[in-house]
Structure 1
Amino acid sequence: MFGSRTAFASNSVRQEGDVVDTPYRWRWLALGAVLVAEIMDLLDATIVGVAAPSVQRDLGGGATTIQWVAAGYTLAYAVGLVTGARLGDLLGRRRVFLVGLAGFVLTSALCGLATTPGALIAFRVLQGLCGAVLVPQGFGIVRTAFPPAELGRAFGTFGPAIGLAAVAGPIVAGALVAADVAGLGWRAVFLVNVPIGLAGLALAWAVLPESRAEDVRGGLRSLDLGGMLLAGLGLAVAVVPLVQGRELGWPVWAVVLPVAAVPLLAVFGWHQVRRSRAGRPPLVEPALFRIRAFTGGTVVGLVFFAGMTGLVLVLGLYLQLELGFTPLEAGLTQAPWALGVAAGSVLGAGVLAPRLGRGAIQLGAGVMTAGVLGLLPALGSNPVTGWSLAPALVVCGAGMGVLLAPFFDIVLAGVDGPLVGSASGVLNAVQQLGAAVGVATVGTVWFQVTAGAGMTAGFRVVLVVVAVTTVVAGALTVLLPRRAGTAGPAPEEAPEPAAA
């Protein structure tokens, strides 16, 4: 069907610095395989808000269990991403992509077969680690498969795909739980990854080109084990107390550990600079943080994805636990959000991003904020229905689509070939770290306020928190260049990479 893989010279490996004179024949199909992986990841990161009540009724567990089913995946993903990107640099991205996708399919099946809350959380952690091996290969594969003239279009597909996947997750989860295929109930939410993943695996095997970094000094022996430990420990101590602290009554350690994460991550940054200066390959190239677009993009992405993912989780829980919606009703109620993302993505990519550059991100943040705040008066309707929430959700989705359309293109366009592997790992890690922090903090705010004032009051507070994070993300876009391709080194007075 796809012809011989020797059309790309399958026995050769394309380096990141190669000039793509003849575009890779199957590059758009390769992009499709990469996007399948991205979409599967985002679906699995956002299904919990709708599926969690059914999981809780079947397996038991409390509010913390719901948070850990979500945060266990995103935290493991964030911790493993930088290492996963480095493995692709060393061993070849096609090879690592296939291994990661096969592992993702297997762990999805294990999640669907779990019989206890602990087992499900453990399998979700393993699933997140497989996703961390799989997803960061995508940017590097695309970067080496496409000629420079087409890279903007290729990277421009990531934002809309990620936005749609993030808000489609609850819809898909609601439909699958409601369908109760073969009596599987919530288990189908995970088991559906098996046929989709196997199809994606066949497509990836057939069309993905092989690529790796130009500099693969030392092979696997060059992996920065100390950096892996510091990064993983720093992220874990930042997120774990936020999830567990509320249920335990906020002991002292739950307050102290997130503060301790700051010096740990600073030591990680210092360690990366030290390895780079010694001629040993770091997990994260310090040179990345001299690139204005990339540094600004990590900050904007962290703030935005924290608020957005937290809202997806809490909205699904509120619709079912407070309003009594079925999983299907809860999923369909969020359909206007997905429609808004689709429309905003088309408008953003086709019209606003080419004309406004980073201004499109700022405009999208403003529109999304209006949509989030528009949900507040909708909660006062009697009764609250999907129809009363729909107008605000459409506006929220449209703003999100406009925001994400140019985001990845602007952030990655200024990253040179030799740095793209490290950049893809860090950018994905920041996205997932934001998701983990959002699940932990926004979820904790909701459960905390709900315990004293009720779910509707808790949801109102969450909406204000998410509106603030979206405004902050929009304001932080001043750190980005005005347009893709204009990303240069940061000013001389910028912080050193270790501090960044």
Structure 2
Amino acid sequence: METLYRWRWLVLVAVLAAEIMDLLDATVVGVAAPSIQRDLGGGSTTIQWVAAGYTLAYAIGLVTGARLGDLLGRRRVFLVGLAGFVVMSALCGMATTPGMLIGFRVLQGLFGAVLIPQGFGIIRTTFPPAELGRAFGAFGPAIGLAAVAGPIVAGALIGGDLVGLGWRAIFLINVPIGIAAFVLAFGVMQESRSEQIRGGVRALDLVGTVLAGVGLAIAVFPLVQGRELGWPAWAVVLPFGALPVLALFGWHQVRRARAGRPPLVEPALFRIRAFSGGMVVALVFFAGMSGLLLVLGLYLQLDLGYTPLQAGLTQAPWALGVAVGSVLGAGVLAPRLGRTTIRIGAVVMAAGIVGVIGTLALGAVTGLTLAPALVVCGIGMGLLLAPLFDIVLSGIDGPLVGSASGVLNATQQLGAALGVAALGTVFFQVGATESGLRVVLWIVAALVLAAGVLTVLLPRRTREAEPEPVAAG
């Protein structure tokens, strides 16, 4: 008889609280950016960097952050990352210049990169195999709801102007939430680490860390900065330079693994079909989703003149749709259809995006006229995300857990950073008007459908059902 850890579901709550807090911070900028710009100054590139600086730093640090959990203990690193995230959130809320805010956002992203990848490893070691599907299944809906709830929360906080804080409240709200999550995690979370990897920080792959960071940075930086500088030649050429740098990183990882030294990314991961295929699907989908959330929030305020609260409430039907789609996907379709649920979600979400385009074409755009199409978008997104993480992580065990967590989260955030940078650039380049939004919507519809097609790379289902363990007592 297998004894279950009695506080395992509270551990899941603590992990999801950190995940949601991170995702809210990654998506609030679309609504908050105009208020930030009016208060602190700066141009459209400043708006993009407040969002992309966070996600880029997050993506760069995730692989290393995950490995630190393997080496030093996932609970310990989780708590350090959470504490740093809360402190940086407070400093973001007190920033007085665009440079200060962007700098603190970068540091906030780095602490998030230390915090978030511990979650998958902690859940893997806390839950028995028979319950892992339910535990991992909670991540998709939580991520989806947090992503679309970000603009709503931001609008409510800014519109409410709590004690005169304005946009600063979107960062300062993390302080009480983060402290509560820290206390919960400190009380219920057990320590775990990879027994196959020893040597503490001395075993960390510093060369790999630099190569990964440089490769990701030169992929995203020109996309954000190039438009404001008039697309100089280096801004066009530099992203292609990321390919050989990342290829060198991959060669270095294989070389370290063959030499018996722990790499940042275990090469064995890419021989697991569910994982390698899931990375591609996640990269494409999160690029489209994150870019659209930013652009939609900017369009509602910059072109239609909505207040932050109005812009947030206009996107509320999307969040409602995600909730409905997540329940339907996780509880009904995913157990029966597996990866087909992701394809259905992609088609439904793309149909919702086309519905938004149709609403724009009819004119008289309001929160009421956009609501039906946004609900459909949300339902599709919920269906798509419900089984994704369980399928992708279904074949990961033992010493691969930490590396897998970092790479999967890094892929998700790299997609988000690329989406914010590229689609934000398209929106401002075409014109921060309905025309720019329409172009972005067509691009995102294509990306979502591409993610659905790419599910052919995934296994049909997650792990086979296993017998339930019996709780002691």
TM-score normalized by structure 1?
0.92
Are 2:287 and 1:287 aligned? Answer: no
Q: Distance in 2 between matches of 1:44 and 1:243?
A: 19
Are 2:36 and 1:46 aligned? Answer: no
Aligned equivalent of 1:469: 447
Aligned equivalent of 2:434: 456
Of the structure 1 ranges 414-423 and 351-360, higher mean CA displacement relative to structure 2 is found in: 414-423
Q: Paired residue for 1:33, among 14, 17, 27?
A: 14
Q: Distance in 2 between matches of 1:417 and 1:144?
A: 9
Aligned equivalent of 2:463: 485
1:136-187: per-residue Cα shift (whole Å, max 9, x none)? 0000000000000000000000000000000000000000000101110000
Aligned equivalent of 1:76: 57
Aligned equivalent of 1:490: none
1:260-297: per-residue Cα shift (whole Å, max 9, x none)? 00010000000000000000000000000000000000
User: What pairs with 1:221-240 in structure 2 (closer than 5 Å)?
Assistant: 221-240=202-221
Q: Distance in 1 between matches of 2:200 and 2:48?
A: 38
* Matched AA of 2:61: G
User: What pairs with 1:391-402 in structure 2 (closer than 5 Å)?
Assistant: 391-402=372-383
Q: Distance in 2 between matches of 1:368 and 1:440?
A: 22
Tell me, what secondary structure is at the counterpart of 1:213?
Answer: coil
Return the offset for 1:216.
Answer: 2.0
Aligned equivalent of 2:237: 256
- Alignment check: 8 A CA contact 1:381 1:388 kept: no
* Matched AA of 1:461: V
Tell me, what secondary structure is at the counterpart of 1:114?
Answer: coil
Q: Distance in 1 between matches of 2:421 and 2:234?
A: 16
Aligned equivalent of 1:495: none
Are 2:325 and 1:344 aligned? Answer: yes
Return the offset for 1:89.
Answer: 0.4
* Matched AA of 2:446: V
Aligned equivalent of 2:471: none
Of the structure 1 ranges 410-419 and 191-200, higher mean CA displacement relative to structure 2 is found in: 410-419
Are 2:28 and 1:22 aligned? Answer: no
Q: Distance in 2 between matches of 1:417 and 1:392?
A: 43
Aligned equivalent of 1:199: 180
Are 2:420 and 1:429 aligned? Answer: no
Q: Distance in 1 between matches of 2:289 and 2:252?
A: 32
Q: Paired residue for 2:353, among 372, 397, 403?
A: 372
* Matched AA of 2:292: L
Are 2:101 and 1:139 aligned? Answer: no
* Matched AA of 2:101: L
Tell me, what secondary structure is at the counterpart of 1:211?
Answer: coil
1:450-487: per-residue Cα shift (whole Å, max 9, x none)? 1xxx611110000000001001111100000000127x
Return the offset for 1:397.
Answer: 0.3
Tell me, what secondary structure is at the counterpart of 2:265?
Answer: coil
Q: Distance in 1 between matches of 2:193 and 2:158?
A: 41
Return the offset for 1:313.
Answer: 0.1
User: What pairs with 1:438-453 in structure 2 (closer than 5 Å)?
Assistant: 438-450=419-431
Aligned equivalent of 2:256: 275
Are 2:142 and 1:161 aligned? Answer: yes
Q: Paired residue for 2:384, among 400, 403, 410?
A: 403
* Matched AA of 1:481: P
* Matched AA of 1:307: G
Q: Distance in 1 between matches of 2:342 and 2:401?
A: 23
Return the offset for 1:215.
Answer: 1.3
- Alignment check: 8 A CA contact 1:243 1:441 kept: yes
Q: Distance in 2 between matches of 1:23 and 1:230?
A: 41
Aligned equivalent of 1:390: 371
Return the offset for 1:218.
Answer: 2.1
* Identical positions, percent: 77
TM-score normalized by structure 2?
0.97
Q: Distance in 2 between matches of 1:39 and 1:108?
A: 14
* Matched AA of 2:185: A
Of the structure 1 ranges 106-115 and 216-225, higher mean CA displacement relative to structure 2 is found in: 216-225
Divergent runs of 4+, >6 A: none
Return the offset for 1:382.
Answer: 3.8
Q: Distance in 2 between matches of 1:47 and 1:402?
A: 23
Return the offset for 1:219.
Answer: 1.8
Return the offset for 1:380.
Answer: 2.8
CA RMSD between the two structures: 0.9
Q: Distance in 2 between matches of 1:382 and 1:225?
A: 55
Return the offset for 1:373.
Answer: 1.0
User: What pairs with 1:290-301 in structure 2 (closer than 5 Å)?
Assistant: 290-301=271-282
* Matched AA of 1:362: R
Q: Distance in 1 between matches of 2:84 and 2:258?
A: 35
Q: Distance in 1 between matches of 2:145 and 2:210?
A: 34
Return the offset for 1:418.
Answer: 1.7
Q: Distance in 2 between matches of 1:349 and 1:59?
A: 43
Q: Which runs of 5+ in 1 are unaligned?
A: 1-19, 487-500
Return the offset for 1:217.
Answer: 2.7
Aligned equivalent of 1:187: 168
Q: Which runs of 5+ in 2 are unaligned?
A: 465-473
Tell me, what secondary structure is at the counterpart of 1:413?
Answer: coil
- Alignment check: 8 A CA contact 1:246 1:444 kept: yes
